[in-house]
Structure 1
Amino acid sequence: MSLDLKSLELFVRVAALGAIGKAGAEFGLSATAATQRLQSLEAAVGTQLFHRTTRAVSLSTDGEIFLAHAKRILGDVEEALADIRPDPRDIKGELRIACSASFGRLHIAPHVTEFLDSHPGVSLQLAMSDSVIDIVEQGFDMAIRIGALAPSTLKARKLAVSPRILVAAPSYLETNGMPSALDDLKQHNCLAREDMRTWSLSAPDGSLHDVRTNGNFSSTSAEAITEAALSGLGIARKCTWEIAGHLAAGTLVPVLEDYTAAPFWQVFSVRPPSRLPPARVRAFTDFLETKFRKVPALCGE
């Protein structure tokens, strides 16, 4: 007997619910009919998939192994159907995304409602942290990462560029003066992560200069450094997407405008090294890329 998709779907639901009757009802099957389907599936694969008692069912050792394959088969079929039926409403499944806290708050979270409204079959989990998450180990579908990517087997796609500039609050500059040359930075309070105290800056002629900075505040949080700069504590090196609103409002102003932090950082989507990404991953990646094109601070402008 050959395997059929409905039996695989029933098997997966029984494994999740631990009850044949309840799972069968979701498929419009009586408990007896559902049991017969499972028995036929076990006959087809040649092994017992469940341990049954009068109260519940649980996966056998072979059943646990088969469950992972069944989920993958059903997922592959779903993706194949989504590929030939491009309507966003045909895309289904949970989408788990990791990103930095500040970038997620400013440039991903505001668009979640629009994406989910146009993809009603998708549910989205957004994990925002300034720590780098191992998306393979922790089961994420994708991550948005900014900057240089470490060598890995992850599949990466560039979505935008992320220029970085030096900024400070007007109150800081009024008290401490505006730097006019790179060497002046050594006399200023520079706000940075402890592992990023040397700033590489690109001059108008394209030459690169490394400046070792000093300062009385550091943080692992990009947002904390922004807040410190806003309060007038010192000069910070920030991505333009982080501070575009503050620049427009004048609460932060550029410092040494002829210089930019080198190299330009880039915004990537990364995903596990599977041959074909799920349709929900492709859809969200395309969606973000379209949104980012409309943001001057993410286009190098």
Structure 2
Amino acid sequence: MSNLTDMEIFARVVTAGSMSAAGREMSLSPAVVSKRIRRLEDRLGTRLLQRTTRQIALTEAGQGFYDRVLAILASVEEAETFVTRGSAQARGTLKVSAPTSFGRLHVAPHLGRFLEANPDLSLNLDLSDDFVDIVGDGYDLAIRIAELSDSSLVARRLAPVHRVLCAAPAYLARQGEPTSLQDLIDNHVRIAAAAQDPWRLVGPHGPEIVRVSAPLRTNSSEVVREAVIAGVGIALRSTWDIGPELREGKLRIVLPAFRASKEVGLHAVYPSRRFLPAKVRVFIDFLAQLYGPAPYWDAGLEQWLSETPHSATAAE
């Protein structure tokens, strides 16, 4: 076996979490995997992995080597794809992280079409609302809904994200519709997950901050979604999350002159590499075509979304 194959085995052991699991994925015995790791360590003159009976862990040198090996393997894959681009399809395993609700609603339903178009590719989709360590946890890319900060990662914008104040008709029939921001603050139930308190809005008079005060406390955005549909109160929600409910009349937009002031977008985020692996490129292209600057979940809301609040600050 070549030194490159030894690096491939090493990377697979780290990703899989054990030598036996890596061996199963590569159709190698654990003894062969262990022998190749030892050969690599002997050649480098340093220990890369700390081994116990139950798990493995990267040494400091192993972590730095692993990060660089991933870039090397990606470049090799890209070089091979470049040569055979005319006939080859993306292949291998693609590991993706996505937010829980968005992944369930807007990624999972479309995976059949993507996998059918890429039969040599398998997909490992993890749903989590945490910002995963893309490089450290071995992800090829992550789908993130955020205002991204500068980092060594590369981000491609997939779609805008619009957030609106909304309530169920039953709540509005019971409490009345707020007529002003002060009315919202003084007389209405405002519900949000802990991480979304306070609301930062923009309206006719510029930026506004509204604290959430409600009988319901939760760390789950999905709980807030179900509560607002059930008529508990008023919430600030993304249209990708409640588009069908708005179109069907289960929810109504309130105080349409106010929107979330923080510019948030839907992004595909991946490690900074000179050569983007074909499997990552085809998935990002698929998502960009699927969503785009006018995503399907905003269908029927275009007229309202095209109206900008009476403020110098634009918001999505």
TM-score range, shorter chain: 0.7 to 0.9
Are positions 1:61 and 2:38 aligned together? yes
Partner of 2:148: 149
Are the structure 2 counterparts of residues 251 and 286 from structure 1 closer, same or farther at C-alpha, using a change threshold of 3 Å? same
Are the structure 2 counterparts of residues 240 and 72 from structure 1 closer, same or farther at C-alpha, using a change threshold of 3 Å? closer
1:138-162 per-residue CA deviation (whole Å, 9 max, x = no partner) reads 1111101112124432111111100
Partner of 1:198: 198
Once the two structures are superposed, the pairs formed by residues 79-118 of structure 1 within 5 Å of their partners are 79-86=78-85, 89-118=88-117
Are positions 1:128 and 2:127 aligned together? yes
- Larger radius of gyration between Structure 1 and Structure 2: 1
Count of aligned pairs: 265
C-alpha separation between the residues in 1 aligned to 2:123 and 2:273?
A: 20
C-alpha separation between the residues in 1 aligned to 2:200 and 2:165?
A: 11
Partner of 2:207: 208
Partner of 1:162: 161
Moved more, 279-288 or 87-96: 87-96
Partner of 1:184: 183
C-alpha separation between the residues in 2 aligned to 1:212 and 1:278?
A: 44
Q: Is the 8 A contact 1:162 1:297 kept in 2?
A: no
Query: How many angstroms does 1:174 deviate by?
Result: 0.9
Q: Is the 8 A contact 2:147 2:262 kept in 1?
A: no
Q: Is the 8 A contact 1:218 1:225 kept in 2?
A: no
Structure 2 counterpart SS, 1:178: coil
C-alpha separation between the residues in 2 aligned to 1:138 and 1:250?
A: 42
Unaligned runs of 5+ in 1: 25-50
Q: Is the 8 A contact 2:155 2:268 kept in 1?
A: yes
1:127-182 per-residue CA deviation (whole Å, 9 max, x = no partner) reads 11122212122111110111212443211111110010001111111111100000
**One-letter code aligned to 2:98:** C
1:245-296 per-residue CA deviation (whole Å, 9 max, x = no partner) reads 1111111111112221113421111112233221111111111010002515
Structure 1 counterpart SS, 2:35: strand
Percentage identity across aligned positions?
34
C-alpha separation between the residues in 2 aligned to 1:88 and 1:100?
A: 34
Unaligned runs of 5+ in 2: 11-18, 45-64, 307-316
TM-score under structure 1 normalisation?
0.76
TM-score under structure 2 normalisation?
0.73
